[in-house]
Amino acid sequence: MLIGTLLWPAAIARQLWHRRWRRFISLTGMPIVAIGLLIGLLRAGFDATWVRLQFRKQDLLTDIARLPSGLPRLAAWHWGHDGLTAFDVTASWIVYDESDRLDPGEMQNSEAWRQRTLAAIGAYAPDETDLWARKVDGHFYLVQLAQY
């Protein structure tokens, strides 16, 4: 990565020096196009969580099929931890909720939504702990609990 960062300006300068305009446009334009495409994909919801869910989705759907039918099914899987220090850790779960009652919407800050979400992931959190959710795909939600 560092070598590429150092060689890229040198390659641009060389193309300008030798008056190779098409290569110059390619060297300067393609990174802009690539970054624009990446930003567009991220804004459309195609992030690392979505990709990871697509790889694991068949296994998760198999687990969901084993749940009793009749009532709206609810299942949660631990998705990992993020954090750089011991004091700032975010735990994540992927939750399947057929009733879509975890859909954040305008209810995300209500106490009822908070209790329902904590019950879905099987966790306890003090009131000062941040809890949020977002829809990833279909009935799948990413629930994150920030522990300070």
Both 85 and 64 in a single domain?
yes
Both 67 and 17 in a single domain?
no
Which residues are 76's β-sheet partners?
95
The verdict on pTM exceeding 0.75 is no
**pLDDT tens digits, residue range 6-51?**
787 787 788 878 887 777 787 778 888 889 998 988 888 788 888 8
What is the total count of domains within the chain? 2
Is residue 69 scored above 90 in pLDDT?
Answer: no
H/E run at residue 3:
helix 2-17
Both 88 and 142 in a single domain?
yes
Both 30 and 56 in a single domain?
no
Domain holding 82, by residue range, is 48-147
Q: Which residues of 1-35 are buried (b: 16+ CB within 10 A; e: fewer)?
A: eeeeeeeeeeeeeebeeeeeeeebeebeeeeeeee
Please check whether residue 132 is in contact with residue 103, taking contact to mean a CB–CB distance below 8 angstroms: no
Q: Return the SS3 of 23.
A: helix
